[in-house]
Amino acid sequence: MSLRLVSWFLLLFFLNVFKHEVPAAESVLSASKTLVWGPGLEANVVLPARFFYIQAVDSSGKNLTTSPGEKTFEVKIVSPVEQFTRIWIQVLDRKDGSFLVRYRMYATYTDLHIHILLKNKHAAKSPFILKGPVYHEGCHCPQPSGSVWEAHMHCPQSFPQIDRDLSLLTSVDPDRNAQEIPQRFGQRQSLCHYTIKDNKVYVKTFGEHVGFRIFMDAILLSLTRKVRLPDFEFFVNLGDWPLEKRKPTEKIHPIFSWCGSNNTRDIIMPTYDLTESVLETMGRVSLDMMSVQANTGPPWPEKNATAFWRGRDSRQERLELVKLSRAHPDFIDAAFTNFFFFKHDESLYGPLVKHVSFFDFFKYKYQINIDGTVAAYRLPYLLAGDSVVFKQDSGYYEHFYNELQPWEHYIPIKADLGDLLEKIQWARDHDEEAKKIALAGQQFARSNLMGDSIFCYYYQLFKAYAKLQVTEPKVRKGMELVEQPADDLFPCHCHRTMVKDEL
Ligand SMILES: *[C@@H]1O[C@H](CO)[C@@H](O)[C@H](O)[C@H]1NC(C)=O
Ligand SMILES: *[C@@H]1O[C@H](CO)[C@@H](O)[C@H](O)[C@H]1NC(C)=O
Ligand SMILES: *[C@@H]1O[C@H](CO)[C@@H](O)[C@H](O)[C@H]1NC(C)=O
């Protein structure tokens, strides 16, 4: 027998010994086998809050599926040429063996070194070196080539919803729209007319309630700091309801809205709520797509198997839901935290209950998503938790709803809630399946609703829309320039040079 064969036998022997004698629970985390990935490890992915992931792996190469402890990994980010790096870091424990690390930079740095330590040992390929300049969110430094930016951002080839929305338009005539849209909608609706010209943002508002303009201004300014946008003109509907009710055979006016419906033909953008949560992540204390991932409540078996809902009385079905909850408290815990629309019915649907932190929703296995004025803008956050979502059938949708599959990402319920009790009973009887749906919904949110995806969506929407224009977009009479905020505190030097012959 050759020596090599002998050692093989010895190895097999020891492997078997270990297999039997080392209990799985005592598995040791491996620094070198730790997995680390994500856009926050790349200098060119500029986001308000950059992020990446850590997956804890044991010495046998198995992924952990429960938390090894919140403080397991230590993350340090330094710039070797700066004494002080103004970077706020958070390591969020997702309690499934993985961590979401996010950081917000308050200045631009030449190089960044990201150290990920497991018990003082470098994990995975740590330190990760980002060759700079590494720009912060406030730095005005647009990448001149849209396709280079898209490649840096790893944007998907396309978004089906953009294709669907724009397929209804054969062309876009900015001159005609500038005339007709304010005439048709400008009196009764609140609208913004934007022109992007030479990567600068100009706006004119119509109507009384234009406060929500700040969200649109903010995303446009943020995008134009990162990438050069094509010249284009468009109208944003600042109201809740989508506006364009004409049939595809009639002449449709392109109106950009935050919510779509089965009966309207507006062009859908990510909601102002989701957009703001991306822009303001770590800028303030709030619910966002990252903080929610670290606050998904107890593990599945310990969650309460009652369906949960809190909200305000913005739609008849919500009243029905609360009534149903009163009749079947063993199935549903639904209550209003606010009366606004149906105040006189308080005796029937009250009492009002105290506001519940969104994170506490996830003490419950079953989450009910039911329309408010339009689509309920909480769905992204509900999906990101690890409860299963019961989604009411609805004519209203956000930019990603059409990519969700019933029974795969959520449990469908009828618009009139007629089958809600039955569906809850189904989930109770099929716990494994319900859990699988919960995790598929969560995976969808993790892969499609983070900041990088939202920026890609806006960019690709604007790019595709701009191509449809048949007359030249112009800065119109009465438009004002929306200025980039001055960044006096941490001015940055933009190193980009203009690329010749772009396109
Ligand atoms: C371990 O986790 C990573 C990251 O989520 C995943 O890509 C990989 O497939 C997992 N490996 C196994 C063996 O499940
Ligand atoms: C589950 O939640 C319901 C409604 O909130 C509550 O009445 C019940 O006591 C909870 N069950 C457990 C086991 O905590
Ligand atoms: C809206 O359209 C979707 C997709 O065609 C459909 O599944 C849904 O049932 C419709 N809902 C309503 C309330 O019209």
The reply to whether 112 falls in a domain is yes
In angstroms, rounded to a whole number, what is the distance separating the alpha carbons of residues 482 and 191? 16
The reply to whether 471 falls in a domain is yes
Catalytic residue list contains 217: no
Nearest atom (ligand 3) to Cα of 263: 14
pLDDT tens digits for range 262-284: 999 999 999 999 999 999 887 76
Mutate to test the pocket of ligand 2, among 306, 354, 362 (most ligand atoms within 8 A of CB): 306
The reply to whether 439 falls in a domain is yes
Question: Are 177 and 193 members of one domain?
Answer: yes
- Residue found by looking up tokens 């049939």 in the block: 247
Question: Are 267 and 311 members of one domain?
Answer: no
Cα(302) to ligand 1 centroid in Å equals 25
Cα(254) to ligand 3 centroid in Å equals 22
Token pair of 98, please? 């993985």
Q: What is the per-residue pLDDT for 61?
A: 96
Q: Is the peptide bond before 133 cis (omega within 30 degrees of 0)?
A: yes
Question: Are 189 and 117 members of one domain?
Answer: no
Q: Where are the alpha helices (DSSP H) in 208-293?
A: 213-226, 272-279
CA distances from 65 to 26, 68, 157, 363, 424 (A): 14, 9, 32, 19, 27
Q: What is the per-residue pLDDT for 346?
A: 74
Closest by alpha carbon to 232, among 275, 184, 285, 195? 195
Question: Are 423 and 458 members of one domain?
Answer: no
pLDDT score of 502 more than 70: no
The answer to whether the beta carbons of residues 16 and 61 sit under 8 Å apart is no
* Residue 35 CB less than 6 A away from ligand 1: yes
**Total tally of structural domains belonging to the chain:** 3
Higher-confidence position of 9 and 429:
429
The reply to whether 88 falls in a domain is yes
Question: Are 244 and 353 members of one domain?
Answer: no
Question: Are 314 and 413 members of one domain?
Answer: yes
Question: Are 443 and 466 members of one domain?
Answer: no
Residue nearest atom 5 in ligand 3 by C-alpha distance: 262
The reply to whether 425 falls in a domain is yes
Question: Are 259 and 195 members of one domain?
Answer: yes
pLDDT confidence band for 285 (50 / 70 / 90): low
Burial grade of 38 (CB within 10 A; 0-12, 13-18, 19 or more): middle
Q: Provide the whole-model pTM.
A: 0.92
Nearest ligand by distance to the CA of 402: 3
Cα(299) to ligand 2 centroid in Å equals 16
Mutate to test the pocket of ligand 3, among 161, 259, 261, 262 (most ligand atoms within 8 A of CB): 262
Question: Are 334 and 361 members of one domain?
Answer: yes
Intra-chain end-to-end CA distance of the chain, in Å: 68
Which DSSP category does 159 fall into? -
Q: How does DSSP assign 182-232, residue by residue?
A: HHHHTTTS-EEEEEEETTEEEEEEESS--TTHHHHHHHHHHHHHHBPPPPE
Closest by alpha carbon to 378, among 447, 312, 283? 312
pLDDT tens digits for range 435-453: 999 999 999 999 999 999 9
In angstroms, rounded to a whole number, what is the distance separating the alpha carbons of residues 466 and 447? 27
Residue nearest atom 1 in ligand 3 by C-alpha distance: 395
Question: Are 300 and 194 members of one domain?
Answer: no
Q: If you average pLDDT over residues 45-66, what whole number do you get? A: 97
Residue nearest atom 1 in ligand 2 by C-alpha distance: 304
Q: ∠ at Cα 189 (252, 185), nearest 5°?
A: 35
What percent of the chain stands above pLDDT 90?
81
**Which structural domain, as residue segments, surrounds residue 63?**
35-137
Question: Are 42 and 128 members of one domain?
Answer: yes
The reply to whether 83 falls in a domain is yes
In angstroms, rounded to a whole number, what is the distance separating the alpha carbons of residues 252 and 52? 42
Least confident of 97-106, 200-209, 283-292, 398-407: 283-292
The reply to whether 8 falls in a domain is no
Radius of gyration for the chain, computed over Cα atoms and rounded to the nearest angstrom? 26
The reply to whether 496 falls in a domain is no
How, if at all, do strands 35-37 and 191-197 pair? unpaired
Residue nearest atom 4 in ligand 2 by C-alpha distance: 333
In angstroms, rounded to a whole number, what is the distance separating the alpha carbons of residues 131 and 139? 17
Q: If you average pLDDT over residues 377-387, what whole number do you get? A: 96
Residue nearest atom 9 in ligand 1 by C-alpha distance: 63
Nearest ligand by distance to the CA of 371: 3
**Which residues lie closer than 8 Å to 244 by C-beta, 6 or more apart?**
252, 253, 254, 255, 264, 265, 266
What CATH number does the domain containing 395 carry? 3.40.50.2000
Cα(63) to ligand 1 centroid in Å equals 6
> Which of 240, 273, 419, 487 is labelled catalytic?
240
pLDDT tens digits for range 91-119: 999 999 999 999 999 999 999 999 999 99
